[in-house]
A = this chain, B = another copy of it.
């Protein structure tokens, strides 16, 4: 089985070619010294770590799984050691705040490292991924004392983080949660309750596990307004920063899951565990969303990473596996990559992952602009784009990632169904990304119900204007003229649909009925936009294997995948009436 190959060529084409990283970074104080060469060489090293250390543990981790014995979690063989090497290599703190010991590199590098982590070992990647989410929440909302105590060791990776939100009757609807927090009179709180589905809820890497727990203060109002966020560490921290006694919290059991078996997904019991408030009382959801938004992007990138890895393996297999005759019947057996149907599956995967990577890079650049740009207006605009794109990246990337995993498994025929080949693991692992951190249906509602309405629709209009401008300025050589035309046409239809939705956004049923279809439409147009940008760059470059592929994939995407927008538009136009008409007991 071919090993994972980090997509460094494509990364370098995106950073150096399409997005002109050097110029972008030059405009961001603190990032001036980051350029394509530096970024590429860091990511090459990161990719090597993923391919050499993490990928070899992916299948064994799946087979072995995690165990819980006498309250102690054991991760699969090799995981603790690999995690140690990850921390020692400085990978945990890549984009971390230098004030707390991080390396302070831009998000654009982080997101590309995250992709490679996810390609190599999704279960492993969740440890640093969740830690970073917890860091964001603490950095934005916690007291200085908590920051000083926790951030340096979390940013270095010595301690890990977890988000404890869900309860068995409170998932999407967190307003229903019942975990309680009682003041202990010394500024701390005693947390009591049970949480489920807690990824990275515990580990055996050594170090602390810092839980951010949603709970209710005494006499808090019902619903979401009564929820506060608490920092609850596995080990209490002594004055000198070293680990003290165990907090009153324990892993009740490990969830039995479809996939990500190397992840200890915990049922957590808090039995009067000591915690500290993060942010204001009753504003827990607000603080949580800081961490949740970071996680949502991360999960989208997981979908991208798994799609890339699965597609790579399918292409390698298709080059090797001999079955059937050449289309003209003259030669046989031939590698199955000569069969049109197999090619179509592989090209579909590639055209989605390469556009996804481009959109990921663009979105991460917006995050960097939103944090560092000297012009507040530029920061505000970029921030709006990130908010708009977050549900799109989360839902579309994970839907595509799952679809690509399934298609790549299909390329293997019967062997794809056999565990030894590893393809079915991609499918099982990818599946969770469509569900956790807010199901993809919730993401779509966020896009249609909340994000479109930002600034009375001006954020999304600004985004469309930017896409129009890029499409117009692309040269549109004969090699991708048809693609440019098709994307422009789809964009115009999306704009109309958006205006129509904005004018009916008061009707939550219409929004709900159209949301998932609209989000996919939005993603396809965004991908088309970036295909035109990539093709434009490729056409203007010295021809190489990569530029040739880019031009072909741009045409393939526009001709074969973008037309899905026709079906999505028709479905959206069908409206909500029939969907809402049937009595619940007739389903």
Contact = CB atoms under 8 A, between A and B. Distances in A.
Contact of A340 (B166, B337, B580): B580
Interface in A162-184: 166, 169-173, 175-176
Contacts of A578: 552, 555-556, 559
A512 to B, nearest CB: 3
Interface in A544-563: 545, 548-549, 552, 555-556, 559-561, 563
Contacts of A418: 255-258
Given A350-B587, A418-B257, A584-B319, A342 B441 contact: yes
Interface in A307-364: 315, 318-319, 322-324, 327-329, 332-333, 335, 337-347, 350
Contacts of A323: 170-173, 176
Given A315-B587, A341-B441, A427 B417 contact: no
A469 interface: no
A431 to B, nearest CB: 7
A570 B566 contact: yes
Interface residues of A, number: 100
Interface stretch (A91-99, A137-145, A432-440): A432-440
B343 A579 contact: yes
A327 B511 CA distance: 10
Contacts of A441: 341-342, 345, 410
A585 interface: yes
A387 interface: no
Interface in A385-430: 402, 406, 409-410, 413-420, 424, 427-428
A567 interface: yes
A259 B583 CA distance: 35
Contacts of A166: 414
A399 to B, nearest CB: 10
A586 B512 contact: no
A576 interface: yes
Nearest to A558: B574
B571 A327 contact: no
Given A340-B512, A341-B444, A515-B341, A581 B567 contact: no
A90 to B, nearest CB: 33
Contacts of A563: 566-567, 569-571
A582 interface: yes
Contact of A427 (B332, B431, B559, B574): B431
A232 interface: no
Contacts of A315: 587
A516 interface: yes
A292 B277 CA distance: 65
B435 A319 contact: no
A509 interface: yes
A60 interface: no
A445 interface: yes
Contacts of A318: 584, 587
A413 B580 contact: no
A513 interface: yes
Contacts of A322: 169, 173, 176
Contacts of A420: 256
Nearest to A346: B587
Contact of A516 (B341, B406, B439, B567): B341
A41 interface: no
A127 to B, nearest CB: 19
A508 interface: yes
Nearest to A444: B341
A175 B434 CA distance: 41
Contacts of A335: 584
A326 to B, nearest CB: 9
A197 interface: yes
A81 interface: no
B586 A258 contact: no
A258 B552 contact: no
Given A319-B587, A432-B417, A324 B582 contact: no
A503 interface: no
A504 interface: no
Most B CB contacts (10 A, CB to CB) among A345, A549, A563, A585 go to: A563
Nearest to A439: B413
Given A340-B513, A402-B406, A548-B582, 5 more contacts: A173-B322, A327-B580, A340-B508, A559-B578, A563-B566
For the complex of A and B, list the 8 residue pairs with the smallest distance between their C-beta atoms, beginning with the closest.
A340-B512, A563-B570, A559-B574, A258-B424, A173-B323, A566-B566, A315-B587, A256-B419
8 contacts: A173-B332, A197-B414, A255-B418, A345-B441, A350-B587, A552-B581, A559-B574, A563-B570
